[in-house]
Amino acid sequence: MTTHTLKTDEAEIAYDVRGPLPTADGRPPLLMIGQPMTAGGFDTLASYFPDRTVITYDPRGLGRSSRSDRRVDNSPRVQASDVHALIRALDARPVEMFASSGGAVTALALVTAYPDDVGTLVAHEPPLIPVLPDAAAAERARAAVRDAYEAKGSNAGMAAFIAMTSWPGEFTANTLPSPRRIPPHSGCRPTTTAPATARCYPIGRGRSAAIAPMSRRWPRRRLGS
């Protein structure tokens, strides 16, 4: 594995390449992205593809990547622009992509703005609350996660987040997930000048809320085969 740094608009993006570029067999490289998860979250998954060239990265302002735009929120358009710059730097269009959670939101913004960048996209569980049938109740549950972070700290906030994401079926107006236990502090060591609370817990602190207004504008079409 080799590690590189790419300078984009008001950011320096750290990314890792496992395998040769250009690829040995001519297949597109496999790009794995998350948000706010960094490249380290894909170490195990990447190990299951020894026959592929796999690229992972740290989104701006997270992990090893820095940002100088003085923002702490996560705009899908900005994140997609960074990924587009990364794909161009790899000179490997179109890539194949597995994108999880907020990374799936970034990926949907990417293929909307730069459709030639990706040949096949697997968008795993993008948190697009406005398009859900239980959107109002789900938003209430997400607000409870944010309130737990603000009132009781990161551990309680993470417990509320786990309870929300583990909820079976649809939310209703009369139900609110209740955490069964508070997990131990996961530990976070920020590596940029952004506030620790904003960098380490962007979901609970409301830093990912920018994903919501975009969700209704993405095309509903199948990518790849």
pLDDT of residue 179: 67
Strands (E), the chain: 2-8, 11-18, 30-33, 54-57, 66-67, 95-100, 118-124
pLDDT of residue 182: 57
Same domain, 32 and 69: yes
Same domain, 27 and 72: yes
Same domain, 112 and 140: no
* CATH code: domain of residue 64: 3.40.50.1820
pLDDT of residue 126: 83
Q: Which of 107, 126, 145 is the last residue of a domain?
A: 126
Q: Which of 85, 100, 126 is the last residue of a domain?
A: 126
**Could you tell me if residue 218 is inside a domain?**
no
Is the entire prediction scored with pTM above 0.85? no
* Interacting residues of 147 by C-beta distance below 8 A, sequence separation 6+: none
> What tokens were used for 97?
């992509």
Q: Which of 126, 145, 180 is the last residue of a domain?
A: 126
pLDDT of residue 45: 95
**Could you tell me if residue 106 is inside a domain?**
yes
**Could you tell me if residue 225 is inside a domain?**
no
Instruction: For residue 154, give the H/E element and its range.
Output: helix 154-165
The ranges of the chain with pLDDT < 70 are 176-177, 179-225
pLDDT of residue 223: 40
Query: Which has the closest alpha carbon to 156: 183, 188, 196?
Result: 183
pLDDT of residue 107: 95
Range of the domain at 143: 133-205
